[in-house]
Amino acid sequence: MNVAVLGSGVVGRTLSAKLEDCGHKVVVGTRDVDSLLARTERAMGGRLPPFSEWYAQNSAVGLGTFAEAAKHGDIVINATSGAATLDVLTAAGRANLGGKVLVDISNPLDYSGGMLSLFVSNTESLAERIQKSFPEANVVKTLNTMNAGVMVDPKSVAGGDHHVFVSGNDADAKARVVDLLRNDFGWTNVIDLGDITTARGPEMLLILWVQLRTTFGTAAFNFKIAR
């Protein structure tokens, strides 16, 4: 399958490498390819190597503009920051998203205040805003409630005994995403919450997620619904 991964940060890299390993043809989308490859500084307080370094070790992955990547993908994954998402999708191009499955794993994080908050929440979600802005795409919200490493290797935490949520209006699009979660990433516990408005719950969960990461001092955890 042809997959576009919009975003070259830790989430985009982790998903791209895993999807390529699973036999998909992946193109990472970025704003400016030359500028991305020219960067030499590390990011995330030194923890993230420059993209070029990662790219040298993952040369099977393609690289293009947001529009080139989106055009390539049968499935388009939004792995950009929440704040950049609508601009990035606009750059990807409405025509390149039409009829596609648009997997939104971003979070509307707002670091501008003294404490982390969400720039959209409670009465709307970022996923709904994306779906309204790009009605020709089939938006599926998923994977936003955990660390990138857990997304692609659920068994790395508690043997995989925890949950991932999906929300979306289109049943076929959700089914394709659930297949990818199960078959490619190894998820055994997927909860379909309902239409795209149900993305509010998983997005609002991020505040607790960040608190827990602070409390534990690690991101190697996930939410399980015990029954």
Measured CA to CA, the distance from residue 105 to residue 120 in angstroms comes to 15
Q: Which single residue is written with the structure tokens 């955890």?
A: 221
Closer Cβ to a second copy, 44 or 225, answer by number = 225
Using CB under 8 A as the criterion, what x/- string covers residues 19-58 for binding a second copy? Answer: ----------------------------------------
**Min. distance of Cβ 149 from a second copy in angstroms?**
13
Q: Which stretch binds a second copy (CB under 8 A): 14-22, 62-70, 168-176, 208-216?
A: 208-216
**Min. distance of Cβ 74 from a second copy in angstroms?**
28
**Min. distance of Cβ 85 from a second copy in angstroms?**
18
Pairs from 39-46 (Cβ < 8 Å, separation ≥ 24)? 43/9, 44/10
- If one asks whether residue 198 binds a second copy (CB under 8 A), the answer comes out as yes
Using CB under 8 A as the criterion, what x/- string covers residues 121-140 for binding a second copy? Answer: xxx-----------------
CA distances from 80 to 12, 93, 212, 216 (A): 8, 15, 23, 25
Closer Cβ to a second copy, 59 or 215, answer by number = 215
Options 158, 171, 172, 179; binder of a second copy; rule CB under 8 A: 158
In this structure, is the dihedral angle defined by the CA atoms of residues 30, 118, 15 and 132, taken in order, positive or negative?
negative
**Min. distance of Cβ 217 from a second copy in angstroms?**
11
Across the strands, what pairs with 4? Answer: 27, 76
Written as one string, the DSSP assignment of 119-144 is: SS-SS--HHHHHHHH-TTSEEEEEST
Is there a contact between 43 and 66 (Cβ–Cβ < 8 Å)?
no
Helix (H) or strand (E) holding 21: helix 10-21
Closer Cβ to a second copy, 33 or 210, answer by number = 210
Total residues in contact with a second copy, by rule CB under 8 A: 40
Measured CA to CA, the distance from residue 26 to residue 39 in angstroms comes to 22
Other CB atoms within a 10 A radius of the CB of residue 103 amount to 30
**Min. distance of Cβ 98 from a second copy in angstroms?**
28
- If one asks whether residue 113 binds a second copy (CB under 8 A), the answer comes out as yes
Point out which residues bind a second copy (CB under 8 A).
113, 115, 117-118, 121-123, 157-158, 161-162, 165, 191-194, 197-198, 200-202, 204-205, 207-212, 214-216, 220-227
